[in-house]
Structure formats: structure tokens, C-alpha cells
Amino acid sequence: MSRLAANLLDTPPPAPGEAVEVAPGLLWMRFRLPFALNHVNIYAIDEGESEGWALFDAGLGVEETYAAWEAALAGPLRGGRVSRLIVSHFHPDHVGAAGWLLRRLGDPPLYMTETEYLFARYMMAGGETTEDPLYEAFYRRHGADAEETRILIERGHNYLRRVTGLPAAFHPLERRVPLNLGGRSFRVLTGAGHAPAQAMLHCAEEDLLLAADQVLGRITPNISVHAMEPEADPVARFLDSLEDLRGEVPDETLVLPGHEQPLTALHGRLEELAAHHQIRCAVVREICRTEPLTVSELTPKLFARPLDPHQKSFAFAEALAHVNHLVARGEMAWVEKGEVWRARSV
């Protein structure tokens, strides 16, 4: 680990509108979020005076983000010439302000993986606000009562309140294809599980990885099952992606994540993240050993602490992800599959 990286791990995060230079010409910024996870990290890579800055992620589409961007553009981004915006994935805390920011900057090009771009466009077109009775049936089937179902369905409307659109054209980021940003060669990596094809940027020469939400240092990236893919197994996709990352990115790499502090010792962290899901799966199996449960009955047994509605919807979707994974592996089975579904360990 370089001295720079060692110092960085304890560096206090930058205030909104300020920046920490994590490597020459690579800035770390942090904007506030109105959630339990109260911030998102944004990065800027200097592409030289004539080109400007390549930005990595846009933040949530709310007023506070716009103010933070204005402060950053007037401050550490030195007048705010921007060469391009790269967005890691479709979640509103990363893509939300993109439409506003691109318009504000005079429409520099947008770079995303094709899957994330299309998924974001689908969500922005109201994809999860559907009145289709299938959506309500999905939550009711897993034991959510009318109130819980309302909160879970409300999530699609919340997405729309925190995004600002995307341009009709974009540059697709292709897995393993190099992307030259201001003389630095980054390789695009993608990871599934947290989002369908989240983009990461790896600079092998300088041992840097912009990891977005695929690898976080202290918290584990949320893994969710939604009504659109009710029997999907995103846990398997996520575990595969951790294996990929171990093969693609060396252990001593400085990881710059989408939330919280930078980290190193990547391979150990990948193991911890995989172990987290194995442990959660073991706990789910244990809870469902004696009696079959709905996901709604399982969720409070898995998460002992009280959860706000936002956290509760994540908890429900993650509990279902673990059940789907165990069912896919043949370690659990849906023993009731009528109007309400209950799963039991086998």
C-alpha cells in the first residue's frame, strides 16, 4: 500500500462542495443524502485544461445536491469545465442528479453500461409505478399487509421524485474495454447483484479501483429482489461478481467506493462480503427449519433493530433475495405456493 493510500484511510471525508485529492488529479467529493446512509461519494478525474473533469456519479436529484455541485464547480473543480459524466448504476443516489447536471454543464457526454442506462430510463419512465395488479400480488404473496404493500409499492414513486432524467443518447461502457481519462488508462469492470451491470473503473498502473456500490468498506451492498423479477437470484450474481473481482483486481488496490471511506486489502473484504451472505443464508435456514414462513414473517426475525419504512423495504427485498438463493440451491423450498407463499428449509 502506498503512503498516500495509508494516509487516506484515516482522512476525514470532504465536506459537501469540497474535495480531497486521493491521487494526482483525482478528487474525492461527498454529498449528503436524506437517508440512514446519509452521504454518497462522487469522484472527479482531471483530463487537462482543455478537456476538463470526468465525473464519476452525479448524486441524488434533490436541491441539496445541486447546491453541492455549484459549490464544487466554483471551488475544487476550478470553474467547472466537465469533459464527461460517467454513472455507475441506476440507483437514484448515483444517477438521480445526472439529467440536471448534464443540462447545467451544457450537455457533455454521458457514459453508462447499456444495461444500467436502459434500466434507469425504464425506471424514469415510471417502470415501478405500475398499477399492474401483479405488483400488489407479489408483495401480498410474501405476506406483506396492506400498509407494508403500500410502502413497498411507493418506492417506485420515490424514485421518480429523486431523478432528473437522462439524455436520449449515451456512450456505452463495455466490460474490460479501456477508457482513457486524462492520460490514465482505466479498464471498465461490471458487477451484478446490487444493480444489473454496475460499472467500476480499474486503473492497474496506479492500483486504483472506483468501485461504486459493488464493494463497500463497512456496510454490505444491498441485494434486492423486486416484483419485476420475482424469482431472481441476485445473491448468486453478486457472489459471482466478487469472484470476478478477485481475479481482475489485485489485493493491494486502493478502493474508492460509492459510500463511506476508501479501503485497501480488497481480497479480504471480498471474502467478508461473501461470508456475510453465507452467514445470512445460514440464519435464514435456521429460522425456517421448524416452521415455514412468509418473507414478511421472516424479515423482523432477521433484522432485530427497528427499521424506518425506507430501511424496511430494503430489508424485505433482501430477505427475499436470501430465500430465493436458498430455494435456487435446493436448501429451502416453497411449501405453500397459493395466495400466500411460505418457505421452509429442507
Q: Which is nearer to Zn ion, 91 or 226 (CB)?
A: 91
- Please, are residues 256 and 262 in contact by the beta-carbon 8 Å criterion? yes
DSSP H or E stretch at residue 338: none
Least distance from Zn ion to the Cβ atom of residue 230, Å: 21
Shortest Cβ 107–Zn ion spacing (Å):
25
Give least dist CB 117 to Zn ion, A. 15
Rounded to whole angstroms, how far apart are CA atoms 212 and 72?
20
Our CB check for Zn ion shows the closer of 86 and 332 to be 86
Helices (H), the chain: 3-8, 63-74, 92-95, 98-104, 114-124, 133-141, 146-161, 234-248, 266-287, 295-302, 309-328
Q: Which is nearer to Zn ion, 52 or 96 (CB)?
A: 96
Residue 220, number of CB atoms within 10 A of its CB? 15
Please report how close the Cβ of residue 245 comes to Zn ion at its closest, in angstroms.
16
Nearest distance, CB of residue 213 and Zn ion, angstroms:
4
CB nearer Zn ion, residue 77 or residue 321: 321
Kindly tell me which of 128 and 213 has the beta carbon lying closer to Zn ion: 213
Between 5 and 124, name the residue whose CB sits nearer to Zn ion. 124
Q: Which is nearer to Zn ion, 159 or 341 (CB)?
A: 159
CB of 195 to Zn ion, least distance (A): 6
Residue 21: in which H helix or E strand, if any?
strand 20-23
- What Å distances lie between residue 208 and 138, 189, 249, 260, 266, CA to CA? 41, 12, 9, 16, 11
Let me know: does 170 contact 59? Beta carbons within 8 Å.
no
User: How many other CB atoms are found less than 10 A from the CB of residue 271?
Assistant: 13
- The number of residues in the chain equals 346
What CA–CA distance (Å, rounded) separates 93 from 162?
8
DSSP 88-150: --SSHHHHTTHHHHHHHTT---EEE-HHHHHHHHHHHTTTT----HHHHHHHHHTT--HHHHH
Q: How far is the CB of 86 from Zn ion (least distance, A)?
A: 15
Which residues in this chain contact Zn ion in the complex, by CB under 5 A? 91, 213
